[in-house]
Amino acid sequence: MRDYLLTLCVTAAVTYLLTGPVRKFAIATGAMPEIRARDVHREPTPRLGGIAMFFGLCAGLLVADHLQNLNSVFELSNEPRALLSGAALIWIIGVLDDKFEIDALIKLGGQMIAAGVMVMQGLTILWIPVPGVGMVSLTDWQGTLLTVALVVITINAVNFVDGLDGLAAGMVCIAAAAFFLYSYRIWFGYTIEAAAPATLFTAILMGMCLGFLPHNMHPARIFMGDSGSMLIGLVLAAAAISVTGQVDMDALKLFEGGTREVTHAALPVFIPLLLPLTIIAIPVADLVLAIVRRTWNGQSPFAADRGHLHHRLLEIGHSHSRAVLIMYFWSALIAFGVVGYSVHSASLVIVMVVVGLSAVGLALLLLPRFTPRAPRWAEAFVPPRYRRRRARAGRSGTLPAYGAGKASPEPAGGTPQPAAGAGASGTSGASQEPGEQPVRFPAGVNGATALSARSRFSDRRKAGTRG
C-alpha cells in the first residue's frame, strides 16, 4: 500500500505543480475560447489542463517502474505501455481540439484508434463472466469490438459530464477510488497478479485528479479541456478493461459448497461485468439522455446544449458548489455501494444503508433554496454565505447591496426609496421598512456562477490578442 500511496502522491504533486505554468502557456497561446451559450462561467478561462495531467500520468508510471513492489507490473505485463500509448494519442487529439476545435466525428475516430492501439498491445477483454454460464472466452474480433466500445463510451461519458468547475475530476476520482479498493482486494486478497495493473492505473488516476482539482474548483482558474477529460476517461476505461477482461474469476474458487453459498459467492464474480458502468453511472445516464434529447429534437447527437444534469441542477435553484457536491454524492453512493455489495453480498445492512443514503440524496435535491447557517462560534471558519446576517443596531435605512450606493433620504411619504442603481445590482425593487435589510439576488446564472452580470472582458476578444 505504501508504494501505491507514493505513486499517487508523486502523480498529484507533478500535476499540481505543472498546472500553473500550463495555465500561463494556455493564455499565451490563446487557448481561451469565447464563452458559448451552454457555458455557465462568465469570464474566458484557459483550457489545456490535460497537459499537466498527462505529465502527471507519465511521472506516476515512471516512479512505479522504479519501485520494487510495483516493478513486476511492467515486467510481467505489457498493459502499462499499452495505456501510455493510447493515452498519448488521445491526449494529442485533445490538445488539438482545445486549440483548434476539431470536428466531433474526427475526435470519435481518434478515440477508436487510441482504443485499437491499446488492443494491439494486449490491453483487451479476453473473457467475460455471464450469469448462469460462468466465464466465457471471446474471440479476437469480439474482444476488440467490446474493448473499443467500452473505451469510447467511457471517454464520452466523462467528456459529457465536464460542465461545471471540478465536476469531472471529482467524479472520476471517486470512481477511481472505488475501483482501486475492488482491484486491490482481488490482488492482495486472492493473490491474483492479473489485477495488479488495474490497481496501479486507478492509483495514478486518483493522483491526476487530486492534483488538478485545487486549480479547477469553483471558481476555476483553468479547465482540463478535452485533453484532460478524454485522458482520464481513457485511463478509467483501461482499468476497467484490465480487471474485467484480464482477471480469470474462476481462480477465485468461489463455486464451492451448497447452492445457496454458491449463489452468494458468485455475485462478486459478476459484479466486475457491471462495475465499469456503475462507477460512471451518472455520466453514462447523462450521455444517453443527451443523445435521446438531441435526436428527438432533430439535432445531431454531438450538438452541444444546456440540458445536461448539472445544468438542470442549476436551473432548479442549486448553487454551483452545491450542484457539484450533489453529483459527487450520487457518484460515491453508486460506486462504493456496488463495491461494498460485492464484498458482502449476503448482508442486508449494505442494502439498507444505500437505500437510506438515497433518501437523503433525494431530500437534498428537493431543497435547492436551503442554505445552512453555521453557529456563531464557527462563523470565522466558513465562507460568508454560510454566516448569519447581523442587523446593525441603532441605524436606520437599508444597507448597500453589492456596491449599489447609499439609500436615498426618506421622502415626506415616509417610505424609503431604494438606492440608486439597486436594480442593476440585483436587489429587489420593493420598499423596505426602516432598519430592514433588503433582499439581495446575486447576478449570473441562478446566482451561482458570477458576482456581476457583466464580464470584465467586455468585448469578449480572444485571449492573447491585442486591442
pLDDT tens-place string over residues 197-246? 999 999 999 999 999 999 998 788 899 999 999 999 999 999 988 887 66
pLDDT tens-place string over residues 47-63? 899 999 999 999 999 99
Is 435 a residue whose pLDDT tops 70?
Answer: no
**Res 415: pLDDT:** 44
Q: If you average pLDDT over residues 12-39, what whole number do you get?
A: 84
Least confident of 98-102, 151-155, 380-384, 419-423: 419-423
Q: If you average pLDDT over residues 414-421, what whole number do you get?
A: 44
Residue predicted with more confidence, 250 or 412: 250
Residue predicted with more confidence, 451 or 55: 55
**Res 111: pLDDT:** 95
Q: If you average pLDDT over residues 8-24, what whole number do you get?
A: 96
Q: If you average pLDDT over residues 2-7, what whole number do you get?
A: 94
pLDDT tens-place string over residues 132-177? 666 778 888 999 999 999 899 889 888 877 777 888 899 899 989 9
Taking all residues of the chain, what is their mean pLDDT, rounded to a whole number? 74
Residue predicted with more confidence, 85 or 301: 85
Is 382 a residue whose pLDDT tops 90?
Answer: no
Q: If you average pLDDT over residues 25-47, what whole number do you get?
A: 73
**Res 420: pLDDT:** 42
pLDDT tens-place string over residues 117-136? 999 998 988 887 665 666 77
pLDDT tier at 100 (50, 70, 90 boundaries)? confident
**Res 234: pLDDT:** 95
**Res 17: pLDDT:** 97
SS3 string, the chain, reads: CHHHHHHHHHHHHHHHHHHHHHHHHHHHHCCCCCCCCCCCCCCCCCCCCHHHHHHHHHHHHHHHHCCCCCHHHHHHCCHHHHHHHHHHHHHHHHHHHHHHCCCHHHHHHHHHHHHHHHHHCCCCCCEEEECCCEEEECCHHHHHHHHHHHHHHHHHHHHHHCCCCCHHHHHHHHHHHHHHHHHHHHHHHHCCHHHHHHHHHHHHHHHHHHHHHHHHCCCCCCCCHHHHHHHHHHHHHHHHHHHHHCCCHHHHCCCCCCHHHHHHHHHHHHHHHHHHHHCCHHHHHHHHHHHHHHHHCCCCCCCCCCCCHHHHHHHCCCCHHHHHHHHHHHHHHHHHHHHHHHHCCCCHHHHHHHHHHHHHHHHHHCCCCCCCCCCHHHHHHCCHHHCCCCCCCCCCCCCCCCCCCCCCCCCCCCCCCCCCCHHHHCECCCCCCCCCCCCECCCCCCCCCCCCCCCCCCCCCCCCCCC
Residue predicted with more confidence, 445 or 156: 156
pLDDT tens-place string over residues 334-343? 888 878 777 7
**Res 318: pLDDT:** 67
pLDDT tens-place string over residues 196-206? 899 999 999 99
Q: If you average pLDDT over residues 75-100, what whole number do you get?
A: 93
- Percentage of the chain surpassing pLDDT 90? 28
Q: If you average pLDDT over residues 295-318, what whole number do you get?
A: 67
pLDDT tens-place string over residues 271-300? 555 555 665 666 667 777 777 777 777 776
Q: Kindly report the pTM of this predicted structure.
A: 0.71
